[in-house]
Amino acid sequence: MNIGFIGLGVMGRHMAGHLLRGGHALGVYARRRESAEALVQAGAKFHDTPAKLAAGCDVVFTIVTAASDFEEVVLGADGLVHGLKPGSVVVDMETISPAVSRAVAQQLEKKGIAMLDAPVSGGPMGAEQATLSIMVGGKPEVFERVKPLFACMGKTITRMGDSGAGQVTKACNQLALLVTAQGVAEALHLAERLGVDAAKVREVMLGGIPSSRVLEVFGKRMVEHNFDKGIDTRLYHKDLGIVLDLAHQMQIASPGAALVMQQINALMGQGKGRKDLAALITVVEDMSGTKPADK
């Protein structure tokens, strides 16, 4: 297929690369051309605007930061909508509000353009290794058409329902991830305060019921106080805002989300928005008035 890709950050550049290596013709757009340089050298074609990119594409993937970015690249003055042909497909893989995703899908449908919302889980490592979990909302026939492309980027590919269902699933994913990360931070800090090696506590928990990818990945970084890898905390802050908005709209309780949002707010206020989520443990340490020895 002729594929377009917008959003060449820490995850997108790997995902686009897998599509290129899968034998598809790849066009790319980025606000900073240098972000696309490695892909251009590998055979991708750079375009000056999303509209120009869209003109020759069957499917265009986006994985940008926020809902406003997505709306701009799709519906803006130079957006995809001005170049896409009827019958083409837009796939939004960033994490945004289900309401925004559905609204954009409705606008595209008026032009005969299909859309899938397909946010991902697995982080930069999953993007690099093509092992992402991809949760998809949209019409089944469109999903089946795009599924071979998803297979270039991920292992677990599931249609969750109609438009917006992928984004709802991702919100639930982020809620579980973030509340678990808070629990891991508190458990490891408690161990350290009581004089027990937090690294050994983590190893024991990995062999029991508390075992999880959150404990494995983020727990290791918490023990090491290594906060320079992974995905920026500011992005989780955005995701948790989506969760709380959905809970508010549905008038349901989400006390865990509200608690973790306060912790993440504290990190943001300390200028740690670009640190890894594992920095949550520093908020717990600050609240107890102690810091572990520098590591």
Residue type, 6: I
> Residue 101: CB partners within 8 Å, gap ≥ 6?
92, 115, 117, 137, 163, 164, 166, 167
- In whole angstroms, what is the distance from residue 99 CA to residue 120 CA? 18
> Residue 82: CB partners within 8 Å, gap ≥ 6?
51, 54
Is 170 assigned a catalytic role? yes
- In whole angstroms, what is the distance from residue 170 CA to residue 82 CA? 29
- Sign of CA pseudo-dihedral 211, 213, 214, 220: positive
**Farthest-apart Cα atoms in the chain, separation:** 64
- In whole angstroms, what is the distance from residue 243 CA to residue 174 CA? 8
Dihedral angle of Cα 50, 23, 96, 155, to the nearest 10 degrees: 180
- The bridge status of strand 120-121 relative to strand 89-92 is unpaired
- Sign of CA pseudo-dihedral 176, 179, 181, 186: negative
- The bridge status of strand 25-29 relative to strand 2-6 is parallel
Question: Of these residues, 111, 147, 170, 200, which one is catalytic?
Answer: 170
DSSP 91: E
Residue type, 252: I
List active site positions. 170
